[in-house]
Amino acid sequence: MPIFQYTLLATDGHARRGVFSTPHGDIQMPAFAPVGTQATVKTLTPDEVRMVGADLILANTYHLYLRPGAERIARFGGLHRFMGWDGPILTDSGGFQVFSLSDLRQVDADGVTFKSHLDGSYHRFTPEKVMAIQAQLGADIIMAFDECPDPLDRAYNEEALARTHAWALRCAESQQRPEDQALFGIVQGGIFPDLRLESVAFLTNLDLPGYAIGGLAVGETKAQMYATLDIVTPALPADRPRYLMGVGAPDDILEAVARGVDLFDCVLPTRIARNGAIFTRHGRKNLRNARFADEQGPLEEGCTCYTCQRFSAGYVHHLIKAKEILGLRLTTLHNLHFLETLMREIREHIEAGDFLAFKEAFLSDYLQQSS
């Protein structure tokens, strides 16, 4: 049996319940991966990340290449040993950061020259270089080097798609550790159905272990994102995982699962937590608001996370206002527990055959607004 294998356990409409096997354990899907950009999920220990229910952590190739360096991480035995996480890890290619963080970059057919956001030094990423870096990092799932353009710019998407496809082929040809690293291709093409289907056709011809959908949640409307997923996911292989990159809002996750997506990652739950905001079944709440100061109940009634079981909303409000680190930890624990619980419930309802009813009931209560 191959080390990397997607097993489909149940379906409900287009929603899929599956398992993806990796050298460091199984990923129960649909799954949400907390983002550990710098080889850490901000404010939490690996044990706490496991406690909230996560199977998989995402780390960032661009940032780890710049600091502390892939060679140094390799000397520690790879990312798993370096960060003390024994479960599956996914590293992105760094492509999105090259194009979004760099204030100077030059793109050509061979790769990208960019300026570090840390010290202004110049660096070059090619598909071969990105594969070598990810081999040193040692993640279970690695991503092909791609270009993430403005999703609404047709002309540039055509140019970028040609580069993304050429680079994906070079990544596949130069991958150093196919025996213990699953290379995922990234479907691009903006909001344009013909470009997206062209991308699916090219990448699936490479017969990769999994496929990501990139270039969404980067400027298009929700309706355009959902319409793009309606086009892309049915065209992807049924026996491979489907990964929607950079999406983590509960409503978007539910809508994407309903369209056949298996895997998600996003900085949203940890980022808003550090700004005092939390997810609840009734929408996003801002704990900085004065109305929480005298709230003696938990952040959310019925929540079983560590924060809600031990502390009042009034106490967490105090910590946030006082800029205490514990406040950031407690809100982060809550938000990740919220999303991982949602993913578990999604899996259960797909298995039970009533996922669509669950989705509609959840969304009828979930209002994405601060209060």
**92 classed as catalytic:** yes
The catalytically annotated residue of 55, 140, 262, 265 is 265
The catalytically annotated residue of 12, 92, 146, 252 is 92
Q: How far apart are CA 60 and CA 83, in angstroms?
A: 13
Starting at the earlier edge strand, list the strands of the sheet with 15-22.
5-12, 15-22, 25-29
Q: DSSP code of 109?
A: S
**365 classed as catalytic:** no
Predicted pLDDT of residue 358 = 98
Predicted pLDDT of residue 370 = 47
Residue bearing tokens 């601060």: 370
Dmax (CA) for the chain in angstroms is 60
Q: What is the pLDDT of residues 40-63, one digit of tens each?
A: 999 999 999 999 999 999 999 999
Identify the sign of the CA torsion 59, 63, 68, 73.
positive
Considering the chain, what percentage of its residues have pLDDT values greater than 90? Answer: 94
Q: What is the pLDDT of residues 278-316, one digit of tens each?
A: 999 999 999 999 999 999 999 999 999 999 999 999 999
Q: How far apart are CA 131 and CA 134, in angstroms?
A: 5
Ordered by where they begin, the domains of the chain are 5-265 (3.20.20.105), 273-365 (no CATH)
Predicted pLDDT of residue 95 = 84
